[in-house]
Amino acid sequence: MKAYASYFSNKLLWFLVTLVAAFLLNFFLPRLMPGDPVAAIVARMAQGMTNTSGVQAIYEQYTELFGTNLPMHEQFFLYVRNVLRGDFGYSFSQYPRTVADVIGASIWWTIALQLPAILVGWIIGNTLGVLAAYRRGGFDKVLMPSSIFVSNLPAFGMAVILLVVFGVTLRWFPTSGGYGFDMIPNLSWDFIWSVIVHYQLPFWSIVLITIGGQAIGMRSMSIYELNADYVKYSRFMGIKDRQIVGYVFRNAMLPQITGLALAIGTMVGGALVAEIIFSYPGLGSTILTAVLGGDYPLISATTLIVTIMVLIANFAIEIIYGFLDPRIKAAQSD
Amino acid sequence: MMRNKFIGLVGLLVILSLTLGACGAPATTTDAGAPQAVEEATQAPAEEAAAPAQEAAAPADANTLPRDETLYFNGQQWGSVVGWNPYSSSNNNAMAISQGDNARVIMFETPYLYNMLDGQVYPLLADGDYTWNDAGTELTFKLKSAAKWSDGTPVTAEDVAYTWATHVKYNTPIGAANVDYIEDIVAVDPQTVVVKAKLDDAGKAVNPLLVAAYVSSNYVMQKAWTETLEARVGDDATAFLADPAEDVVYSGPYAKYFADDSKVVYVRNDNYWGQGPSMWGKLPAPKYLAHVIFKDNAAGTTALQAGEVDVSQQFNSNVQDLWLKDNLPISTYLPEAPYGIGASLPTAWYNLNSPGLDQVAMRKAIAIAVDYPTIIANAMTNQSATFTQVPRSLMNPTEGEQAMFDHAAVADLQWAGNDVEGAKKLLDDAGIVDSDGDGWREYNGKKLSYVATCPNGWSDWQAAIEVVAAAGKEIGIDITTNFPEWSVYQTVVTKSDTPLPEGYDIFMMGSNGAGPTQPWGRARQMMSSEFIGMPSNWNGNFGGYTNPEADALIQAIPAETDPAKLKEMYTELVKIYLTDVPSFTLMYRPQSFHTVNESVWTNFPHEGDGTNPPVPPLNLTDGWSIAGLYNLTLVNP
């Protein structure tokens, strides 16, 4: 048990160090970008204004409101204080909306699209990968090349193909939006159905790509494990096939689980491509707009969420690994 | 075995969801080609926003907007609506709040409506034409007695006066923009408004043009509601402008119905005052105006093809293919190229502080060598008049503006482009030659190289600026291109209190479109030196051009009323502009793109549609074009 405690505290320490470093980067990196985001707001305000003093007054009013007139370190401490209170401030690009409001409005669309897509893609991909490794033969010969092909398609390519084939040509699915262009959100079957229908193309554009990559990875891992000495030895010992498959699966899964955790950690970053091609609501395009517009508070908040989620996912994995695979714990606590 | 069952289950789910999806496919749409990959960002403002999840206004009756009662738009609303506060310019609520030359008047109303086709203004809240006093210092107009707010109270002169006082008190953009020209707006009696011009030392109005433009460019807000807002924010100017104003009182025919991340819907106010005989005599045809929020032009075009958009205010690349190739019931204001009426002049500006660009010969040589037909054919897919059809000046292609100058007097100064030999000769004559034989000309012993720039992602501008760069190479000037992000670009270009940095030798900006102060406003934008030194200059003359003669003309025109004199002055300005070439127009661009799909609604404005006064192609929302909403009929009533 002592080994576990030492392993755990070691991981926790590194978790905190990484968090602090990431937090610093989240704050400072966006602010090192060229361009003055407050100028963009003033631009909206000042169009058509011809008096110098008026423009200057507006500029000063907003630099004060957003605190961009303060030295960087003061801004940082203000930011830390506010973040600890759960206040991410105003979004520059969507002023006067707050960052919390902006994220709150889009994040559920993103999670609802990404989480099932990642899970389904992961499960199908890994299952296909294991099958290919076991069955070999024709199944493998078809699956491998098609997986490689699909996983190497750029995401926008897959999205556009689905859009053109199933949306524009066959007209099986709508081409844009999160729900019917003529609907108002409500709790009716019509509306729920509309959401389901609009969900399909963005969903599959992510799933198909995920499947390919996962299948290739899982197939290689499984083949490697199937040839490992312990498998041969187990067979020699007369251990049942099912039990051996269990060992193999468990060992081959480890890297795949890491991949899954990272995917889930980064999913809040949004499915930018699917969102743009299908005009689907979500955080991805919000973040893109924020980056292009130098919207520091929004960039910092979204990257902070991504950072924390990735760190938590990693931390959880490390801890679970400790239990799952004694080799890792042993190696780490030496 | 578990595994096999699981695979079976997943397979089943896959098939099920695909099949279900297929059954539920929307039964709309006609044949549509692959979505255009051309991303045309010019209409997508950089500071566009994602949406606020504003609560649904709990539609009691309709969960689905009836197609035959709803008019769908695209290209106006990018990102989600942030607020409903007509005092603020940070609402990102394009359909409802857009004040200016062709103010959008579906929710809030201006006293007058500007019509870009005939250059006239028509009364809306106002009753009859406005009049100037003899001294030209006071503009008076009356309000219609029928004009009412959405709460049923009358629109009074006191509302107009209080709106102005509020703009000034809180230093709103509109207040700040006009305070140098308008002294005060006062209510003489409940129906009569007097706008008092700011006077110069000689006792004359500083700028009567801008005073008159105020009454067709800016909304009237209700005094009572404004006071409610002031009380709510405790007179704090920042909070005043940041208030989302969900409770706003309005006078127009439409108001908020629903808004979220995906769309914004406006519903008709069936008690709208304008249905009376003093204004329209009926209600506008569509009960709902809806705008789905698309994330790029390609998605908007696909929806237009599918019949999910009736009025398209976005650049649809090769728009003629929609009816010629796809056989869709889609049309533009003009049946042939340029398909719309050009109103603004996207322009390449010279940084006059760059070495060599202070020389007229250099500026003119580059400008006359540029291949404009290629820009118009490629970047605009012919949705711009050519410079042979409408020779360059400071005026847009509308008839009204073209009549403002003497064409013959400037004819030998105009150019249509592709004049490589002429450009070379100009440079040779000016002694700007290639003396070391490396193929590039030198100026003051240094190889001539410039950077031409425009914002990244603005694909039509990028295509245009590449053509400018190519022209440089033809005449021995090394022009390279650079495309920074808009957020950076706009900060740099509008900072006129310091010289432009490296990388901004030739750069693009748009120009004023059609409006009651044009073409004066555009001439001022292109040439007036008054903007040099501004820390945030959104007005013009970004390249730092100075010409006292031009300044004097720009100063004098607003007070001039004699048409012959005006024409003379404008002709002189055009001459100076085409001689000095501080900037050069690359194409003409419509005020709004206006493409309509007549699957559901018909009787949209088209050239020669017989409307009198003619309804301009401004999406049935801007200025006088809102008259078009009253003319719409259903294809299948």
pLDDT in tens, B66-77: 999 999 999 999
pLDDT of residue A332: 57
Is B177–A43 a contact, with Cβ atoms under 8 angstroms apart? no
A200/B contact by beta carbon, under 8 A: yes
Residue B526 has pLDDT above 60, yes or no: yes
The 8-class DSSP code of residue A165 comes to: I
Token digits of residue B445:
């012993």
Residue of A nearest to B37 (CA): A160
For residues B90-96, average pLDDT: 90
Dihedrals φ, ψ of A207, to 5°? -60, -45
| CA B602 to chain centroid | 25
pLDDT of residue B9: 39
Nearest to B295 among A123, A127, A285 (CB): A285
The 8-class DSSP code of residue B68 comes to: G
For residues B608-636, average pLDDT: 94
Q: Which residues of B touch A283 (CB under 8 A)?
A: 50
pLDDT of residue A47: 61
CB A143 within 8 A of CB A151: no
A-facing residues of B in 9-48 (CB < 8 A) are 10, 14, 17-18, 20-22, 24-26, 29, 32-35, 37, 46-48
Is A40–B29 a contact, with Cβ atoms under 8 angstroms apart? no
A47-56, B118-127, B242-251: least confidently modelled range = A47-56
pLDDT of residue A144: 81
Dihedrals φ, ψ of B331, to 5°? -150, 165
User: In this complex, how many residue pairs, one in chain A and one in chain B, have their CB atoms less than 8 Å apart?
Assistant: 255
Is B32–A168 a contact, with Cβ atoms under 8 angstroms apart? yes
Residue of A nearest to B88 (CA): A45
Is B261–A109 a contact, with Cβ atoms under 8 angstroms apart? yes
pLDDT of residue A173: 92
Amino acid letter, B218: N
For residues B540-549, average pLDDT: 95
Q: Which of B461, B453, B325 is nearest to B384 (CA)?
A: B461
Amino acid letter, B214: Y
B235-239, B267-271, B580-584: least confidently modelled range = B235-239
Amino acid letter, A116: P
Nearest to A123 among B10, B80, B265 (CB): B10
B168/A contact by beta carbon, under 8 A: no
Q: Which residues of A touch B539 (CB under 8 A)?
A: 48-50
pLDDT of residue A283: 87
Residue of A nearest to B28 (CA): A171
Nearest to B258 among A109, A184, A188 (CB): A184
CA distances from B498 to B351, B434, B539 (A): 12, 32, 16
B20-34, B289-303, B386-400: least confidently modelled range = B20-34
For residues B197-201, average pLDDT: 94
For residues A280-295, average pLDDT: 85
Token digits of residue A284:
């991805």
Q: Which residues of A touch B241 (CB under 8 A)?
A: 96
pLDDT of residue B476: 94
Three-point CA angle B266, A163, B300, nearest 5° = 30
A86/B contact by beta carbon, under 8 A: no
Is B10–A124 a contact, with Cβ atoms under 8 angstroms apart? yes
Taking the C-alpha atoms of residue B267 and residue B263, their distance in angstroms, rounded to an integer, is: 13
Residue B59 has pLDDT above 60, yes or no: no
Residue of A nearest to B171 (CA): A54
Taking the C-alpha atoms of residue B446 and residue A55, their distance in angstroms, rounded to an integer, is: 39
Measured in angstroms, the CA of B296 and the nearest CA of chain A are apart by 7
CB A271 within 8 A of CB A202: yes
pLDDT of residue B8: 39
B-facing residues of A in 138-197 (CB < 8 A) are 160, 163-164, 167-168, 170-186, 188, 190-191, 193-194, 196-197
Residue B44 has pLDDT above 60, yes or no: no
Taking the C-alpha atoms of residue A46 and residue A57, their distance in angstroms, rounded to an integer, is: 10
Q: Which residues of B touch A289 (CB under 8 A)?
A: 48-50, 79
Nearest to A279 among B47, B67, B294 (CB): B294
Is A106–B25 a contact, with Cβ atoms under 8 angstroms apart? no
A281/B contact by beta carbon, under 8 A: yes
Measured in angstroms, the CA of A174 and the nearest CA of chain B are apart by 6
Strands of B491-594, DSSP E:
506-509, 583-585, 589-590
Is B51–A279 a contact, with Cβ atoms under 8 angstroms apart? no
Q: Which of B238, B213, B30 is nearest to B139 (CA)?
A: B213
Measured in angstroms, the CA of B477 and the nearest CA of chain A are apart by 29
Is B538–A48 a contact, with Cβ atoms under 8 angstroms apart? yes
Task: Suggest the residue from B18, B28, B48, B63 to mutate for an interface test with chain A (most A CBs closer than 10 A).
Answer: B63
